[in-house]
Amino acid sequence: MTGISEILVLILLISGILILPRMLKPQPTRDPKEKIARLSQKKRAAIVASVLYPIAVALVIKPWEGPVLKFAVIGLVPVIIAWAVYWVATAPKK
C-alpha cells in the first residue's frame, strides 16, 4: 500500500504544480459597463421587443385564466425562434 500512496502523492504534487496555476490564473478584468455599451441600437430594440411582446400577448390572451399553451405558442415561441435565427446568423464564419 505504501507504493500506491506514494504514486498518488506524486500525481497530486505534479498536478498541483502544473494544473493549479493555470486554473487559478486571474482573468483579465473587464468593465461590465463596456459590455453594455457595445450593444447597438438594433440589439437594444430587439431586447425591448423581446420583453414587451410576450407581455402584450399575455395581456390579450390572459394565460392565467387557462390557455397557457396558446400563450406559449403565440407569445414565447416567436421570440425564441427569432433569437435562435439571430444567433445562427451572427455566428462567426470559419
Q: Can you give the pLDDT at residue 43?
A: 87
pLDDT at 81: 92
pLDDT in tens, 41-79: 888 888 899 999 999 988 888 888 888 888 888 888 999
Query: The whole model's pTM is what?
Result: 0.56
Model pLDDT for residues 18-38, shown as the tens digit of each residue: 787 777 777 667 666 666 668
Q: How many C-beta atoms surround the C-beta of residue 12 within 10 A?
A: 10
Check if the beta carbon of residue 86 is closer than 8 Å to that of residue 46: yes
